[in-house]
Amino acid sequence: MPLFAAACGVPSAIAPGNAWAHGCYLLGFASFVVLGWVRLRMVSGPARTGYGLILGALSVWLVGDLLYDALTRVVGPPGDVSPADVFWVSGYPLLAIGLVHLVRLRTSGRLREGLLDAMTLATVMAWLCWQFVILPAAENQRLALPVVVGALYPLGDVVLFAVVAILVMAPGSKRGPTRFVVGALALTLCGDVLISMLPAVFTDLSRAVQADRLDGVLLVANSLFVAAVLHPDAAKIAEPSATGHQKLHPARVVFLGIPLVTMPLFAGLNTFTGVASRVSLIVSIVLLTSLVLVRFVLVVRGQEAIRAELAHQAHHDQLTGLANRSALRTVLDLSLSGPRGGYGPVLFYLDLNGFKQINDRYGHAAGDVVLVEFANRLTGVLRPGDVAARLGGDEFVVLSEGIGTPAEAGAMAGRLQALTVTPVVKDGVELAVGVSIGVAAAGDLEHPDVDGLLAAADAEMYTHKTARRTLQNA
């Protein structure tokens, strides 16, 4: 397709303004647009909407070309502004919306960082276009329609530049149809920039004829857009990235560093005397600084969230959310080292009965449901200051510092025993378990420490479990 597009554009480069050469360009352009719409009917999934907007932009540009030719034949050259400009300008936002839609689908909610980086680059690009393209063209001219329309094209290029930055910087695969899209955008930008520079090189030809020289470049760019639609993996462009984390590529740092030095560098090398130039510089610097600060805040908050998550995982059981063995030992050691009453703290060692049978019969997923539900029930009966932990498997521990007598400890053990009275229900199946509880109080030990208290509670739990098995066998 790109080779065919280049072949259709070569005559215009050799003989700009020739009717036959322009006809080759229109034939190639129309062929690509029709082929793209035919292929779109076979594209399924959410990517179809994005591709439809891209093809809509190409169709709008084609209509603009045909309208301009029709006006030229009927009333002569339309001049600097014509109804065709409405179609040409409107293609830019259509193309941008379609591409952003595809990127949003593939990033799975992780577009924010790439969007901020793209806006940072686009801010500098917009300022450069304003300062060195739009203002010089509008110098010594009143605010007229040709001036406004002429400014819309470089702004459209800024939009395309931002989309390129989003595609490159956002997460997701850069292979397959993505390469065609990035190449098409790059060629479109190059073609527009060259078209704006041609009047200074070929002063003997009209602007329309000068633009004909680059029909081949723009045609190849449009063919690459259609090639993305025709790609066998066209629908996969919207698939989320397989990896949830994207590494920071060194090129990304360079791309973001360039905008940070561009405007200060130009401000130091140039003296901006005009009010519009000064205002544009100030506004752009404020906007650029704001984007960088927002990006910095997001990075810091992301790091804080990761650290908090790691700290939580280090002290909590991932399945039940209860404290883990390490956290329990730390809390118990602090409790034993501080001032204590005559009896507490008290440790309750819980082991589920019948849990292995549930795992063997219904699978580990059912066992996990039982563990999570038991942990929730356990949390519901805790008193202020109590700590519940899962040591591993079906073993749980409750540490209570507010118990002062054996009677209070027995009452607490009764409440814990009652947690398994009601079976756990999963998919309509009742998963019944029991619990064996061992109680150990620091006041009952001569020299209480962490290991000694845990061992005493474990031993009493094992005694109760053995007695229960003996009673069942009898």
- State pTM to two decimals: 0.58
- Return the C-alpha torsion angle 379, 383, 387, 389, nearest 10: -30
**What was the pLDDT predicted at 258?**
67
Write down the pLDDT at residue 456.
92
Question: What is the model's pLDDT at position 58?
Answer: 95
How would you write the pLDDT of the chain (474 residues) with one tens digit per residue?
889 998 988 888 888 778 888 889 999 999 999 999 999 998 888 888 999 999 999 999 999 999 988 998 888 877 778 888 899 889 989 998 998 888 887 776 566 776 777 777 777 777 776 776 667 666 655 556 666 676 677 777 777 777 777 777 666 666 778 889 888 888 888 887 777 665 555 555 455 556 677 788 889 999 999 999 999 888 877 776 555 455 555 656 666 676 667 767 666 666 666 777 777 777 777 777 777 777 777 767 777 777 777 776 778 888 998 999 988 898 888 888 866 666 878 999 999 999 999 999 989 999 999 999 999 999 999 988 899 999 988 999 999 988 888 999 999 999 999 999 999 988 888 899 999 999 999 888 888 889 999 999 999 999 988 888 777 665
Which residues, other chains included, contact 6 with Cβ-Cβ below 8 Å and sequence gap of 6+? 216, 219, 220
Read off φ and ψ for residue 29, nearest 5 degrees: -60, -50
Domains, the chain, in order of start with CATH, read 2-268 (1.20.1070), 325-473 (3.30.70.270)
CA atoms within 13 A on the CB side of 405: 3
- Residue that has been written with the tokens 């379609």 in this structure: 98
Angstrom distance (rounded) from CA 156 to CA 164: 13
What was the pLDDT predicted at 458? 92
Task: Estimate the crossing angle of helix 275-315 against helix 250-269, to 10 degrees.
Answer: 150
Q: Residue 169: its pLDDT value, please?
A: 67
> Alpha carbon of 34 to those of 23, 97, 215, 235: distances in Å?
16, 21, 19, 19
pLDDT of residue 202: 52
- Whole-number pLDDT of residue 224: 93
pLDDT of residue 61: 93
